[in-house]
Each structure stands twice: as C-alpha cells, then as structure tokens.
Amino acid sequence: MTGTLEIRLAAGDDAALAECYRTHAALVAAYLHRLVPPQDVEDVRQVVFSEVWRSRHRYDPARSLEGWLLGIARNRAIDHLRARALTTVPLESICEPVDGDGRDTADMLGSRDQVQRALAVLPEPQREAIELAYYGDLTQREIAERLHVPLGTVKARTARGLRRLSSLLSPIAA
C-alpha cells in the first residue's frame, strides 16, 4: 500500500504500524518520561502502540499523527498511574517520639551527622577499622581477618582513629 504514513495507518496497513513505531517511539518515550516513573516508560509505551493499532480506525489522517499519539500516551499514562498500588503507612502504626516533642531525636541525628563528617576526615585505614568495629559489629580479630592485616595493626589503627575522632568531636561536646 502506498501513500502517507497517516493514510496507511488509518487503512490498517501492518507495515504502517512498524513505521509509526520506528518514527515516533522516541517521541512517545520522551513524553512518557514526564508522566510516569522511568522504570515504567517502556511498558506504557508498548501499551500506547497496542492502543494505536487497536484504535487505528478512529484516527483521522487529516489530523496530526503526533498529537493523536501523544493523546493516547497521556491517557495510557493516567491509566497506568491510577492502577498503581500506592504504598501507604497507616497512621496507627506511626508512634509518637519517646521524648514527647522529638528534640532528643533531632539532637541524636545531628550528632550522628557530625560523627559521619569526622569519620570522613580520618585516613582510610583508620576509618575502615572503626566502621567495621562499630557499624559492622566485628571484633578486632574479625577485622584483621577481613582486611588481611595483623591484629596489632587493627588495634593501632582503631586507637589512632578514635583519638583523632575525639579531638575532632571535642568542640562539639563542649
């Protein structure tokens, strides 16, 4: 069948759908990126072109093919978003702060941030030993085995790192 893509698509030409996809798939994907999560774009795009084929008899070749495609894309994106199961947390499952107004929690989070920044200043071997001990909950012997260094080296790195942390954090404690 010869003629413009629009006329061939409206007439039901199988090759016209493939050409339409090759020509306009990137446009539809770019449009969908604005509407649906990135991981869902390809799925919705496939639904859009299935809908294009199913409703080709309703397409008026005198009108803009891109506009018609993007209209279908918009509708399928809305359908997709409405069908998603939203994750919500029931209000009953959220507990009140233990200290009443949350100030202690805020102070704790602030201190945690300061400790993280101080750790980032330490040399890598000292930071690694301290993080494995405190965050990894490993013994010094387990750290030595994991890092393939002598136990005395782990002890020295930990001691030097803790002394340096203490000096970095001492203005905070004052």
For the stretch 116-134, pLDDT in tens is 888 888 888 998 998 888 8
Residue 92 lies in a domain: no
pLDDT at 152 over 80: yes
Task: Please tell me whether residue 27 adopts helix, strand or coil conformation.
Answer: helix
Tell which phi-psi region holds residue 96, choosing left (phi > 0), alpha (psi between -120 and 50) or beta: beta
Residue in the block written with tokens 């965050």:
135
Domain assignment present for residue 60? The answer is: yes
Q: How many domains, the chain? A: 2
Please indicate, yes or no, if residue 163 is contained in any of the structural domains.
yes
How deeply is 147 buried, as exposed, middle or buried, from its count of CB atoms within 10 A (0-12, 13-18, 19+)?
middle
First-to-final CA distance of the chain: 84
Whether residue 95 is contained in a domain is answered as no
Q: Which domain holds residue 109?
A: 103-169
Q: How much is the pTM?
A: 0.49
Q: Is residue 164 part of a domain?
A: yes
Residues 163 and 115 in one domain: yes
- Both 13 and 71 in one domain: the answer is yes
Whether 158 is in a domain gets the answer yes
58 and 123 in a single domain? The answer is no
The domain spanning residue 41 has which CATH number? 1.10.1740.10
Q: Where is pLDDT greater, at 115 or 46? A: 46
- Cα–Cα dist 75/38, whole Å: 17
